Amino acid sequence: MSRRRGPVGTPEYAAMVRRMIRSHGRRVADADPEDLVELVAIREVLDEAIEDAVRGMRDARAISWGQIGRAFGISRQAAQQRYGERAPRRGGLPGQGDLWS
User: Using one digit for the tens of pLDDT, what is the confidence trace for 13-59?
Assistant: 999 999 999 999 999 999 998 899 999 999 999 999 999 999 999 99
Alpha helices in the chain (DSSP H): 10-29, 36-60, 65-72, 76-83
Nearest to 28 by CA among 16, 50, 43, 14: 43
Q: What is the pLDDT of residues 44-99, one digit of tens each?
A: 999 999 999 999 999 988 899 999 999 999 999 999 999 997 534 344 333 434 33
pTM of the entire structure? 0.68
Q: Please, what is the Cα angle at 92 between 87 and 94, to 5 degrees?
A: 85
Residues 24/42, Cβ–Cβ less than 8 Å: yes
Cα-trace Rg, the chain = 19
For residue 100, how many other CB atoms are within 10 A of its CB? Answer: 8
Rounded CA-CA distance 80/12 in Å is: 28
For residue 96, how many other CB atoms are within 10 A of its CB? Answer: 9
